[in-house]
Amino acid sequence: MAQKVDAHKSRRDAGWRTIEAPYDAGTALTDARGDVLLFDCATLWLSNQMLDDTRDLAAEQARLFDALRRCQMPVIVVSNEVGEGVVPENALARQFREAQGRLNIELAQMADLVIKVTVGLPQVLKGKMP
C-alpha cells in the first residue's frame, strides 16, 4: 500500500498535500484547508472500515457524509463501481459489493456532478461539466 501511495504522490506536483486517513476520513475532511480536496478513495476507506471489526460502519458513514456536507471547499471523491461484474462467491466480498453500491448511491445523491470514467473516457451521469 505504501508503494501505491508513493506512486500517486509522484504523479502530483508539489502543490498537493497528502493526508493519509485510512479510517477517519471525516476528521481529515473537516480539518483540511485549501482550494479543493481530493478524497482518493472512498472504496479503500470502505474496505478499511469493513475489515476492522471494531468499526460501526453506519456511524462511520454518517460521520463521512456529515463531513462532506460541512466541508468548506469543493471535494472530488474517487470511488469504484464494483457491482458491474460477476457476483462474488465469497460472503465478505458480496457484503463489500453491496456496501460499496450503497455508499456510491449516497455519494452520488450528495454530489452536484457525477462522472463515471471507464477506460479513460468520462461520462457525465449527473450535473454539467464546468
With beta carbons less than 8 A apart as the criterion, state whether 83 and 101 touch: yes
**Run of H or E residues at 94:** helix 91-110
Mean pLDDT over 93-114 rounds to 97
- pLDDT value at 98 more than 90: yes
Dihedral angle sign, alpha carbons of residues 107, 39, 78, 130: positive
Task: Write out the catalytic residue numbers.
Answer: 8
114: Cβ contacts below 8 Å, ≥ 6 apart: 108, 124, 125, 126, 127
| Owner of C-alpha cell 453500491 | 101
Mean pLDDT over 60-66 rounds to 96
Q: pTM here?
A: 0.89
> pLDDT value at position 115?
97
- pLDDT value at 1 more than 80: no
- CA 19 distance to own-chain centroid: 14
What are the boundaries of each domain within the chain? 2-126
With beta carbons less than 8 A apart as the criterion, state whether 76 and 69 touch: no
> pLDDT value at position 91?
94
Mean pLDDT over 90-104 rounds to 96
With beta carbons less than 8 A apart as the criterion, state whether 55 and 49 touch: yes
Check residue 88 and report its DSSP letter: P
Q: In the chain, what is the greatest distance between 2 CA atoms, to the nearest angstrom?
A: 43
CATH of 2-126, one of 3.20.20.60, 3.40.710.10, 3.20.20.220, 3.40.50.300: 3.40.50.300
**64-87: per-residue pLDDT in tens?**
999 999 998 999 999 999 999 889
**7-59: per-residue pLDDT in tens?**
888 888 888 888 888 889 999 999 888 899 999 899 999 999 999 999 999 99
> pLDDT value at position 94?
95
What is the grid cell recorded at 90?
465469497
- pLDDT value at 4 more than 90: no
